[in-house]
Chain A
Amino acid sequence: MMDLHAVPRKSPNSAYRVYDGQATIVLPDRAEVNVLNEIGSLVWERMDGARTVAQLIEAVLAEYDIPPESARRDVLEFIEDLRQHGMVT
């Protein structure tokens, strides 16, 4: 699992569009189409190859009223999930 200082990057093999606040992500290599929820889409959009995991957690906390500890856990698990699905490197 990534740590708070890691810088996750969108896979260059993914294609996506954000529509009505939610991201639809296509992985041509895997013939998969994935839909992220609103908070996941926010993390995805902010994942610019410069922000650390800690900064992504801060971005979520700035937009949503969520306890910091659960935001930290959820974002870490979410990014790990994206990584295992080949959407993040």
Chain B
Amino acid sequence: MFSTEVTADPRCVRDDFVPDGSYFDQLEEVFGASSVVLRIGPLEVLLEGLSPRQAEDLGRRFRPFVLGRAACPQISIVVRPAGVEDFLRVRSQGSAETYRLESRRTAEGLTLWSYEFAGRLDHSKGQAVLGIVEEQGDRFDRGLENFLRVLTASYILERGGLLMHASGVVRGRAAHLFFGPSGRGKTTVTLLSPGDIVLSDDLSLVLWNGERFEASGIPFGMAHHRIPDTADSFPIASLNGLVQSQEVSRERLTGARALAEIVASLPFVMQETGQSERALEVARRLLQAVPAYRLWFRNDPSFWALVEEPSR
């Protein structure tokens, strides 16, 4: 479900490091005394223990999503040096392997770890510890962002929303989501919409505000590191499962097939039975409120004429 691929260094075939409870308890160092607050949909996240440079970088990269101060952050994350070179090691030799993410749920909370990070989240306290293997560069960015992705997916699901593997484009104050696995054209659709607000070219938040479903981008969702144009949310007008084609057409997706397609586009939350049950229910409600289509499109903006048609 998660599309990042890592090309193996043939030298890196060693055992994984599995972080247990005592690992997090003995993490004491921090990178520095700086902090940043991010707003991700309804979620405010306080990142503490950052060096001034890390805080400055994050503030610049995630600018539309950075808050001056947290009124009441739902989750506080202390970011610490991991003290190890890797948690997961690339298994294959010289070929690509699908991004691996491990998780464990215990009385202490949810523990997640991957190549460059390990984090433990205590949902009841709204507190997390995150160990990252490097202080800056791609591995720091990837570790932080991947932890935040999973945390966001879990938090939003609990509040009746979804993190979808979908690009999002706003036209006429209405959001249209374009979903499908990597290579189906999610980014292409955003590039074919130059005058519109792009919420995301890879991961979009679907939020339930008590009356309707809305979409917003996330600061780290972009496959090509393009930061969304805005942190605002917009009512969702359509869900479109993409198929690249020479023809432009669409047909309504309904019933169990539509439900299956939506839940197959939900990263991170379909790995446990309990979360899967919840995701199925939220997706069912979404489909009752918003029309879903299969959209065949070619490499020009002509698909918009269909997408903007009233639902049928």
**Chain B residues in 8 Å Cβ range of A13:** 273
Instruction: Report the bound CA distance from A15 to B269 in whole Å.
Output: 12
With an 8 A cutoff between CB atoms, is A65 at the interface? no
Q: Nearest Cβ distance between residue A44 and chain B, in whole angstroms?
A: 11
**Chain A residues in 8 Å Cβ range of B273:** 12-15, 28
Instruction: Decide if A26 touches B270 in the complex (CB within 8 Å).
Output: yes
Closest to A37 in B: B256
Instruction: Decide if B257 touches A17 in the complex (CB within 8 Å).
Output: no
Instruction: Report the bound CA distance from A18 to B281 in whole Å.
Output: 10
With an 8 A cutoff between CB atoms, is B280 at the interface? yes
Q: Nearest Cβ distance between residue B262 and chain A, in whole angstroms?
A: 9
With an 8 A cutoff between CB atoms, is B284 at the interface? yes
Instruction: Decide if A35 touches B276 in the complex (CB within 8 Å).
Output: no
Give B122-159 as 1s and 0s: 1 = Cβ < 8 Å from A's Cβ atoms. 00000000000000000000000000000000000000
Q: Which of A22, A28, A35 meets B272, CB within 8 Å?
A: A28
Q: Nearest Cβ distance between residue A9 and chain B, in whole angstroms?
A: 14
With an 8 A cutoff between CB atoms, is A55 at the interface? no
Q: Which of B280-295 contact A (CB under 8 A)?
A: 280-281, 284, 287
Q: Nearest Cβ distance between residue B91 and chain A, in whole angstroms?
A: 18
**Chain B residues in 8 Å Cβ range of A22:** 255-257
With an 8 A cutoff between CB atoms, is A16 at the interface? yes
With an 8 A cutoff between CB atoms, is B277 at the interface? yes
**Chain B residues in 8 Å Cβ range of A12:** 273
Instruction: Decide if A26 touches B276 in the complex (CB within 8 Å).
Output: yes
Instruction: Decide if A31 touches B270 in the complex (CB within 8 Å).
Output: yes
With an 8 A cutoff between CB atoms, is B121 at the interface? no
Give A24-42 as 1s and 0s: 1 = Cβ < 8 Å from B's Cβ atoms. 1010100101111000010
Give A49-74 as 1s and 0s: 1 = Cβ < 8 Å from B's Cβ atoms. 00000000000000000000000000
Instruction: Decide if B287 touches A19 in the complex (CB within 8 Å).
Output: yes
Instruction: Decide if A26 touches B256 in the complex (CB within 8 Å).
Output: no
**Chain B residues in 8 Å Cβ range of A17:** 259, 280-281, 284
Instruction: Report the bound CA distance from A19 to B279 in whole Å.
Output: 14
Q: Nearest Cβ distance between residue A11 and chain B, in whole angstroms?
A: 9
Q: Which of A15, A24, A28, A31 meets B260, CB within 8 Å?
A: A24
**Chain A residues in 8 Å Cβ range of B263:** 24, 26, 33
Q: Nearest Cβ distance between residue B275 and chain A, in whole angstroms?
A: 8
Instruction: Decide if B256 touches A24 in the complex (CB within 8 Å).
Output: yes
Known: A19-B256, A19-B259. A24 touches B280 (CB 8 A): yes
Q: Nearest Cβ distance between residue B261 and chain A, in whole angstroms?
A: 8
Q: Nearest Cβ distance between residue A88 and chain B, in whole angstroms?
A: 15
With an 8 A cutoff between CB atoms, is B246 at the interface? no
Closest to B287 in A: A19
With an 8 A cutoff between CB atoms, is B1 at the interface? yes
With an 8 A cutoff between CB atoms, is A23 at the interface? yes
Closest to B271 in A: A28
Instruction: Report the bound CA distance from A53 to B273 in whole Å.
Output: 25
Give 26 CB contacts A-B under 8 Å.
A12-B273, A15-B273, A15-B274, A15-B276, A17-B259, A17-B280, A17-B281, A19-B259, A20-B254, A20-B256, A21-B255, A22-B255, A22-B257, A23-B256, A24-B263, A24-B280, A26-B276, A26-B279, A28-B271, A28-B275, A31-B270, A31-B271, A33-B263, A33-B264, A33-B270, A41-B256
6 other contacts beyond A31-B270, A33-B270, with CB at 8 A cut-off? A14-B273, A15-B274, A24-B256, A24-B260, A26-B263, A26-B279
Lowest 3 CB-CB distances: which A-B pairs, in order? A22-B256, A15-B276, A20-B255
